[in-house]
């Protein structure tokens, strides 16, 4: 997508840049506003998860019992401060949180593998066409698409990397491959850990606790506490990432005079939108 000979490379600031080049300025701005609205809607929705999750986590450890919106507001304040700073600070924090979250999942995956799978061994439905197309394939496809949300945002940060012509394509393709392999393997092992014939009934009965119950079985109480904590940190990482993307969409639109050029001015100290 970002080949050195690409004539659009000087204008690549997201998918809307290509829409604008191909279909005109109006269509490009429409795509930009649609993307911006989508990211803001996602961020608002995740805050709706973050607040109750953090409230439950704090109260479970004997902390104060406060309304969920208080915790959501506190999280919003922290995200706003981090978003105001340079991308290096947010990037380092997001990298730490991501590595910690991936690590615990990989540990769980490894334990399931070393245990020989679950009560029925390793699930085989992943290679069975009858299983793949059973149930509601459309829902599965939707889940798969949502698993890749955000990979396209690498282009938005091209102005803030040293060698965008090299870094952006590598980051994009690497994220696609990593996300695909990680979710596929981890989902397969989660199914295996609970038993292929029982996992549907288990997730239907307890859709929000399947990961915790699986972790409790294979990693014990310590692993369960870690997963509960990292569920909250993962939501925080999501809202921080969405804020960084949305602010840069606005910044690039501002540089084009929409909705105003003042929005396209970087902070004089932090060089952030």
What is the DSSP code string of 202-242?
A: HHHHSTTTHHHHHHHHHHHHHHHHHHHHHHHHHHHHHHHHH
Dihedral sign of CA atoms 202, 207, 211, 215 in order? negative
- Mean pLDDT of all residues in the chain? 84
Better-predicted residue by pLDDT, 165 or 257: 165
In this structure, of 1-15, 21-35, 67-81, the range with the lowest mean pLDDT score is 1-15
Query: pTM for the full model?
Result: 0.80
3-state secondary structure (DSSP) of residue 197: coil
Write the CB contacts of 149 (distance below 8 Å, at least 6 apart in sequence).
42
CB atoms within 10 A of CB 140: 13
195: tokens are 């038993």
Q: Calculate mean pLDDT across residues 121-131.
A: 86
User: What pLDDT does 6 receive?
Assistant: 38
Q: How wide is the angle at C-alpha 137 spanned by C-alphas 132 and 140, nearest 5°? A: 95
Write the CB contacts of 30 (distance below 8 Å, at least 6 apart in sequence).
19
CB atoms within 10 A of CB 181: 10
User: What pLDDT does 245 receive?
Assistant: 84
3-state secondary structure (DSSP) of residue 25: helix
pLDDT band for position 260 (cuts 50, 70, 90)? low
Is residue 213 pLDDT above 50, yes or no?
yes
User: What pLDDT does 265 receive?
Assistant: 73
Residue range 9-264 forms a domain whose CATH class is: mainly alpha
Phi, psi torsion values for 65, nearest 5 degrees: -95, 105
In this structure, of 68-72, 116-120, 138-142, 175-179, the range with the lowest mean pLDDT score is 138-142
pLDDT band for position 163 (cuts 50, 70, 90)? confident
């Amino acid at each position: 997508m970002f080949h050195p000979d690409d004539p659009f490379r000087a204008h690549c600031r997201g998918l809307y840049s290509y829409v604008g080049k191909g279909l005109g300025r109006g269509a490009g701005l429409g795509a930009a506003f649609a993307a911006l609205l989508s990211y803001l809607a996602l961020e608002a929705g995740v805050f709706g998860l973050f607040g109750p999750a953090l409230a439950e986590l704090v109260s479970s450890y004997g902390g104060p019992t406060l309304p969920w919106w208080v915790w959501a507001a506190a999280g919003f304040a922290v995200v706003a401060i981090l978003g105001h700073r340079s991308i290096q600070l947010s990037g380092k924090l997001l990298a730490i949180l991501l590595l910690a979250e991936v690590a615990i999942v990989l540990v769980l995956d490894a334990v399931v593998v070393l245990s020989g799978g679950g009560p029925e061994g390793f699930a085989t439905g992943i290679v069975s066409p009858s299983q793949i197309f059973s149930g509601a394939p459309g829902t599965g496809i939707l889940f798969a698409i949502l698993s890749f949300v955000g990979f396209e945002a690498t282009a938005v940060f091209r102005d803030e990397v040293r060698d965008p012509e090299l870094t952006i394509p590598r980051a994009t393709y690497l994220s696609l491959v990593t996300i695909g392999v990680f979710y596929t393997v981890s989902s397969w092992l989660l199914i295996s850990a609970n038993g292929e014939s029982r996992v549907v009934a288990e997730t239907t009965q307890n859709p929000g606790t399947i990961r915790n119950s699986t972790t409790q079985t294979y990693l014990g109480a310590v692993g369960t506490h870690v997963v509960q904590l990292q569920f909250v940190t993962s939501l925080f990482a999501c809202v921080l990432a969405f804020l960084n993307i949305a602010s840069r969409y606005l910044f690039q639109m501002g540089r084009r005079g929409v909705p105003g050029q003042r929005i396209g001015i970087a902070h004089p100290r932090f060089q952030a939108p």
